[in-house]
Amino acid sequence: MDLHHLTLAVGGLALFLFAMLMMTEGLKAFGGSGLKRLLGRWTSTPLRGVAAGAMVTALVQSSSAVTVATIGFVNAGLMNLRQALGVIFGTNVGTTMTAWLVSLIGFGFNINAFALPIIATGVALRLLAPEQRYQGLGGALIGFGLFFMGLDLLQEAFGGVAASFGQGALEGGLTAHWATALALGFVVTALTQSSSAAVALILTATTGGLIDLPTAAAAVIGANVGTTAKAVLAALKASAAARRVALGHICFNFITGVVALLILPLMLWLIDWLSTALQLEDNPAIFLALFHTVFNVMGVLLLLPFTHRLATWLEGFFRNTEDQLARPQHLDHTLLASPELALGAVRAELLRLRNAVGMVSTAALDNQRQVRSYAEAARQLASAITEYIASLRVERMPRSVSDDLTLSLRATRYLDEAGRMVASAQRLVAAAAEPAPPAALAAVLTAARACLGAPSRSNDVELAEFERAYQHGKASLLGAVVARQIDAERADTLLDDLSNLRRLLQQWVKADTMLAYSDAGLKPED
């Protein structure tokens, strides 16, 4: 490859990657919270998760972005492992949209005539649109146009290489180059963090006559496996549940890749037959796009029936203290038809939740480590209790049991909200440890510790003591701002954290008192 064609190839790849980034960021900004809601809520079953994952990935043009978002949802306790696996399966189908864009639009058109009006429209939206979401659409259109301009440069570069070395420079079929092609597809995807970029490179090289179809198919399989690299990086510092999602992603792509490689000659024959049956244009890029789609759909059909078994197997990995805390120990689903027995299980689990929230809140006030991970585990346990109560059959439930479950659900919500506030408590402790801490902050924290440690029947007294310390601390901070002893922005942050600490203790006392009365057979007034 001479210097000119090398420059074209590097520049085309750089432009292509930049275009993909602009498309992804722009479409995410345009879709806004709607895409997040679709991904986070429309996943009640693995099959619906597949549909949501495929749809969102096709829209934002990045399977890695959707995978990382899914890991984030699991990490925050908003999605369970079985739901996440469905989404992961779907992202592999959705990412094939890029191959179809390249094969159907990227070849056989005057790309400049096609791309430049799109870029001009995008720039106009970016500069003139009043709303941020339409500015995001403008950015996506700019990326869409640059996508094809980068593809044009790659076509010219690979065409020059093919002319220099002869058509089919890397031909030799499956037996000669499949291992090299497989490794190359994996490495390019891992380095660029984009399987779409790797697949576009492969399609362009094949259309330019540089490699033959069997070798290109093996490279596409390698690119598909390489997309797991970003998921692994995203899960390194995540929770145990998120690491299981990343491992599930690896399992899906690896199993699909191995099966596709083992039956590659059969798959190539099948794709050739489908191309003829569907009367698709005799184009290597379309052939590979169809191959990419078929082998990913094959992977979903192969593994979707085993989603629950795969999730059960994955749950045996990355066990830790936080995971044990998040996992219910008493919520037996065989008791769902017997509400009286289920109520006992709920009360036992609520006691675990109460102890967990009390422990994590005390740890935050003592500035201990791993507070965040324990708080997330407590939230997951609260979510499991809520789902369990909601699944009980109301029509078979005595009124007294229904009332007790209502109280249990309220207590769960109080404890869940208290657990969400622990980060504020930890920040206040850090502020109190500064060389010149805000006045009265230490007294507020002392009162908070006393309230958490008080017996259930007297913690309302300690809460009243905390309220006095809170009001004094709040007035002291405001006075310090007036006296210019503390920056107003810093004071706002501390006041917000104080308010959250107050909310933590209020919710804690409500739940603790409610549970104490419930155990005594009484019905406390809220």
Tell me, what's the pLDDT at 76? 56
> Taking the model in full, what pTM does it have?
0.60
Give pLDDT tens digits for 408-446. 889 999 999 998 888 888 888 888 888 877 777 888 889
Mean pLDDT of 107-113: 58
**pLDDT band at residue 499 using 50, 70 and 90 as cut-offs:** very high
- In terms of pLDDT, which residue wins out, 3 or 217? 217
- In terms of pLDDT, which residue wins out, 109 or 122? 122
Helix (H, G, I), strand (E, B) or coil at 315: coil
Tell me, what's the pLDDT at 526? 45
DSSP one-letter string for 346-384 = HHHHHHHHHHHHHHHHHHHHTT-TTHHHHHHHHHHHHHH
**pLDDT band at residue 520 using 50, 70 and 90 as cut-offs:** very low
DSSP one-letter string for 135-182 = HHHHHHHHHHHHHHHHHHHHHHHHHHHHHHH-TTTT--HHHHHHHHHH
For residue 327, give the DSSP letter.
Answer: S
Give pLDDT tens digits for 228-268. 776 677 666 666 777 788 888 888 989 998 998 888 889 88
- In terms of pLDDT, which residue wins out, 22 or 271? 271
The answer to whether 386 touches 419, Cβ cutoff 8 Å, is no
What does the block give as tokens for 366?
């003592």
CA distance 395 to 94: 42
pLDDT at 106 over 70: no
Tell me, what's the pLDDT at 181? 80
pLDDT at 175 over 50: no
Domains for the chain: give ranges and CATH numbers.
Answer: 3-314 (no CATH), 323-519 (1.20.58.220)
When mean pLDDT is compared across 164-178, 260-274, 378-392, the lowest value belongs to: 164-178
Compute the mean pLDDT over every residue in the chain, rounded to the nearest whole number.
78
pLDDT at 174 over 60: no
The answer to whether 317 touches 243, Cβ cutoff 8 Å, is yes
